[in-house]
């Protein structure tokens, strides 16, 4: 307990950094992922190909490798100097966007084609069809897996601790520098993550139950 | 492709699509060309920076690094599958005193980041007098984390079977163990196989986290050779491209195997078609390669 109480300020500051890193990357990856999903369901085959290539490459690459690329390899290309923190955001965003893209795409694909055909037959315009029929149904099947993707992103921010970007994973460094007990420190970090993740899991389950559509 | 969002294109739309295709190809080529230009402009592909490929010592160490990655994957996968099977069985138990602790343990290990677990086993435990090698720390963490996810996949797979299956088995006078091993597991395993394999892809990718605790795997090898400024002038780019290709190749091989199994399943009449998504949904919980329905790309 004393490890936590003596370093409360350190824990709060670094968990704050984790949340900040998470929030920025979450927003950016949601935007980029949705754009990629738009590419992947577009009627133009070339766009679909570009989206599919991006997703295949990023989803089969370890996140750590993406980090190594942006922190160690990218600076050698001398394109634009970026801070380690920005590089971490870029790595997390690019990696998570591939998963967001897949969630959005499969959400759209769960809507049966008959729904769109029926709306057209009823004479709905394209906007009406999208806004009143397709998207409300797609959204229901997107939210639960999207929450899971975001939980994964929250946990993935700790990968940054190998690259000198301060967040909850760096608490270990700080504690071992002060000569504090690392074992108990790490247990507190783990508890911190459980506390952060559990409410999200709960929200996800509620949505899943309330929104599960019988088809 | 999904036709939900679009009407069948008419002549005007087809022309528009062709124009957009040309623009798309041009933009993609421009992007690739810019990156290649930067590679050339910063001399990434000079003879000196590619020279590392020629050294026998380095080739051997690459093989060894891949071997380390694969052995961490193999041991981790076997342990995680065993852990998952045990905890899934415990979570499906009729006794609350078995079910509840198992559920708590699985939920907790799913919520803790893998990095923190690895730090705990590698940097934390020595202060309690237990010293683990980097390999053991990686494997144990992979087992606990992926094992918990697999436990959820197994449980969801068994729960997604129609109730009639177990009811009929009980009506025939089978015992609980018999119902599980003769009726439920064989069917559930078939349905879950693609999801289980894509979780193993995640496990393979997660071995790269061993980089953070100095485990000598493929990525660590890459940063060592790539950071060698004295002999090769820091060939980080070329080395990382090779490392990335190896990881992508290995993962795609596993994914291809999952797809193959899924296809074979579809032809198999013995497979019961469940609402299917249950197992795939669980897996998304760790940003894995699965999407609802277990479709992998």
Structure ipTM: 0.88
Confidence category of residue B44, pLDDT binned at 50, 70, 90: confident
Q: Does A103 touch chain B (CB under 8 A)?
A: yes
**pLDDT value at residue A8:** 85
Tell me the pLDDT tens digit for each residue of B251-278: 999 988 888 887 887 776 665 555 545 5
Question: Considering only CA atoms, which of A73, A29, A98, A68 is closest in space to residue A159?
Answer: A68
Question: Considering only CA atoms, which of B155, B124, B163, B127 is closest in space to residue B140?
Answer: B124
**pLDDT value at residue A212:** 67
Q: Give the pLDDT mean for A81-97.
A: 93
**pLDDT value at residue B268:** 67
Domain assignment present for residue A97? The answer is yes
The string of DSSP letters for B60-107 reads HHHHHHHHHHHHHHHHHHHHHHHHHHHHHHHHT-S-HHHHHHHHHHHH
Judged against a pLDDT cut of 80, whether residue A211 lies above it is answered with: no
Length of chain A in terms of residues written: 215
- The share of chain A scoring above pLDDT 70, in percent, equals 98
Task: Give chain A's mean pLDDT.
Answer: 88
Q: What is the CA radius of gyration of chain A?
A: 21
d(CA A23, CA A32): 14
Confidence category of residue B280, pLDDT binned at 50, 70, 90: low
Q: Which residues in chain A have Cβ-Cβ distances shorter than 8 Å to B118?
A: none
Q: Give the pLDDT mean for A119-146.
A: 86
Q: Give the pLDDT mean for B232-242.
A: 87
B35-41 LR contacts (CB < 8 Å, sep 24+): B35/A77, B38/A77, B38/A78, B38/A79, B39/A77, B39/B237, B41/A78
**pLDDT value at residue B76:** 95
Q: Give the pLDDT mean for A33-60.
A: 90
Tell me the pLDDT tens digit for each residue of B168-191: 999 999 998 899 989 998 888 888
Fill in the DSSP letter of residue B294.
T
Structural domain harbouring A44: 2-210
**pLDDT value at residue A61:** 93
Chain-chain contact of A62 with B205 (C-beta, under 8 angstroms): yes
Q: Does A65 touch chain B (CB under 8 A)?
A: yes
Domain assignment present for residue A215? The answer is no
Tell me the pLDDT tens digit for each residue of B50-94: 888 888 888 999 999 999 999 999 999 999 999 999 999 999 988
Tokens of A52: 């599919």
Q: Does A105 touch chain B (CB under 8 A)?
A: yes
Domain assignment present for residue A109? The answer is yes
- The share of chain B scoring above pLDDT 90, in percent, equals 52
Judged against a pLDDT cut of 80, whether residue A9 lies above it is answered with: yes
Judged against a pLDDT cut of 70, whether residue A215 lies above it is answered with: no
Domain assignment present for residue A39? The answer is yes
Please indicate whether residue B291 or residue B43 has the higher confidence score (pLDDT).
B43
Question: Residue A166's Cα: distance from chain center in Å?
Answer: 19
Q: Which residues in chain A have Cβ-Cβ distances shorter than 8 Å to B119?
A: 161, 169, 172, 186
**pLDDT value at residue B295:** 31
d(CA B225, CA B62): 10
Q: Does B256 touch chain A (CB under 8 A)?
A: no
Angstroms from B39 CA to nearest CA on chain A? 7
Of A44, A112, A159, the CB nearest to B17: A44
Q: Give the pLDDT mean for A12-23.
A: 92
**pLDDT value at residue B282:** 52
Which residues touch B9 (CB under 8 Å, ≥6 apart)?
A: A43, B17
Query: CATH code at A48?
Result: 1.10.3720.10
Angstroms from A4 CA to nearest CA on chain B? 15
d(CA B142, CA B6): 44
Task: Give chain B's mean pLDDT.
Answer: 85
Angstroms from B168 CA to nearest CA on chain A? 25
Domain assignment present for residue A167? The answer is yes
Q: Does A118 touch chain B (CB under 8 A)?
A: no
Of A45, A96, A186, the CB nearest to B124: A186
Q: For A65-79, A138-152, B25-39, B41-55, which range has the lowest pLDDT when averaged over its residues?
A: B41-55
d(CA A43, CA A201): 35
Confidence category of residue A133, pLDDT binned at 50, 70, 90: confident
Domain assignment present for residue A27? The answer is yes
Does the pTM surpass 0.95? The reply is no
Chain-chain contact of A108 with B2 (C-beta, under 8 angstroms): yes
Please indicate whether residue B296 or residue A52 has the higher confidence score (pLDDT).
A52
Residue A138, classed as helix, strand or coil, is: helix
Phi and psi based region of residue B290 (left: phi greater than 0; alpha: psi -120 to 50; beta: remaining): beta
Tell me the pLDDT tens digit for each residue of B193-221: 888 988 999 999 999 999 999 898 999 99
Q: Give the pLDDT mean for A49-53.
A: 93
Domain assignment present for residue A173? The answer is yes
Q: Judge whether B149 and B192 are in contact, CB under 8 Å.
A: no
d(CA B286, CA A9): 30
d(CA A213, CA B257): 32
Confidence category of residue B290, pLDDT binned at 50, 70, 90: very low
d(CA A73, CA B251): 22
Q: Give the pLDDT mean for A142-158.
A: 91
d(CA B9, CA A94): 32
Question: Quick one: which H or E segment has residue A32?
Answer: helix A8-40
Q: Which residues in chain B have Cβ-Cβ distances shorter than 8 Å to A176?
A: 123
Into how many domains does chain A fold?
1
Residue A77 to residues A49, B42, B108, B233, Cα–Cα distance (Å): 27, 6, 42, 14
Residue B62 to residues A41, A100, B59, B245, B250, Cα–Cα distance (Å): 40, 33, 5, 13, 15
Q: Does A33 touch chain B (CB under 8 A)?
A: no
Residue A86 to residues A80, A82, A163, B35, Cα–Cα distance (Å): 11, 6, 12, 20
Q: Give the pLDDT mean for B152-156.
A: 91
Chain-chain contact of A55 with B291 (C-beta, under 8 angstroms): no
- The share of chain B scoring above pLDDT 70, in percent, equals 89
Domain assignment present for residue A126? The answer is yes
Q: Judge whether B15 and A37 are in contact, CB under 8 Å.
A: no
Of all residues in chain B, the one with the smallest CA distance to A137 is B4
């Amino acid at each position: 307990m004393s490890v936590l109480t003596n370093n409360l300020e350190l824990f709060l500051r670094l968990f704050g950094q984790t949340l900040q890193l998470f929030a920025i990357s979450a927003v950016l990856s949601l935007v980029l992922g949705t754009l990629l999903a738009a590419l992947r369901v577009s009627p133009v085959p070339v766009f679909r190909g570009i989206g599919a290539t991006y997703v295949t490459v990023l989803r089969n690459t370890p996140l750590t490798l993406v980090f190594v690329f942006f922190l160690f390899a990218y600076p050698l290309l001398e394109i634009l100097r970026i801070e380690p923190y920005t590089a971490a955001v870029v790595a997390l965003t690019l990696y998570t966007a591939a998963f967001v893209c897949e969630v959005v795409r499969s959400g759209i694909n769960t809507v049966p084609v008959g729904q769109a055909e029926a709306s057209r037959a009823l004479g709905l315009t394209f906007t009406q069809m999208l806004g009143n029929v397709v998207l409300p149904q797609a959204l229901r099947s997107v939210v639960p897996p999207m929450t899971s993707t975001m939980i994964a992103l929250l946990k993935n921010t700790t990968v940054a601790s190998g690259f000198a970007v301060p967040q909850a994973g760096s608490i270990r460094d700080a504690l071992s520098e002060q000569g504090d007990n690392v074992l108990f420190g790490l247990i507190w970090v783990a508890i911190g993550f459980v506390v952060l993740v559990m409410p999200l899991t709960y929200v996800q389950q509620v949505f899943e139950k309330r929104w599960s559509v019988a088809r | 492709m999904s036709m939900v969002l679009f009407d069948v294109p008419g002549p005007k739309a087809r022309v528009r699509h062709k124009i957009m295709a040309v623009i798309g190809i041009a933009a993609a080529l421009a992007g690739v060309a810019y990156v290649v230009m930067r590679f050339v402009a910063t001399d990434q592909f000079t003879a000196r920076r590619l020279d590392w490929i020629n050294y026998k010592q380095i080739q051997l160490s690459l093989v060894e690094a891949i071997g380390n990655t694969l052995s961490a994957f193999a041991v981790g996968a076997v342990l995680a599958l065993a852990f998952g099977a045990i905890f899934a069985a415990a979570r499906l138990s009729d006794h609350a005193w078995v079910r509840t602790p198992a559920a708590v343990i699985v939920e907790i290990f799913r919520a803790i980041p893998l990095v923190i677990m690895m730090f705990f086993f590698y940097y934390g435990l020595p202060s309690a007098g237990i010293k683990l090698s980097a390999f053991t720390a990686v494997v144990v963490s992979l087992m606990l984390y992926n094992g918990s996810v697999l436990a959820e996949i197994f449980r969801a797979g068994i729960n997604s079977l129609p109730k009639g299956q177990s009811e009929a088995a009980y009506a025939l006078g089978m015992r609980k163990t018999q119902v599980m091993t003769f009726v439920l597991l064989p069917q559930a395993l078939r349905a879950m196989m693609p999801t289980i394999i894509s979780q193993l892809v995640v496990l393979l990718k997660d071995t790269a986290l061993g980089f953070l605790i100095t485990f000598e795997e493929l990525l660590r090898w890459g940063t060592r050779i790539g950071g060698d400024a004295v002999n090769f002038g820091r060939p980080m780019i070329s080395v990382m491209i090779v490392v990335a290709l190896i990881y992508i190749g290995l993962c795609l091989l596993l994914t291809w195997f999952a797809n193959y199994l899924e296809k074979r399943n579809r032809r198999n009449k013995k497979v019961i078609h469940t609402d299917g998504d249950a197992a795939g949904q669980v897996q998304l919980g760790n940003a894995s390669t699965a999407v609802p329905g277990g479709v992998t790309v």
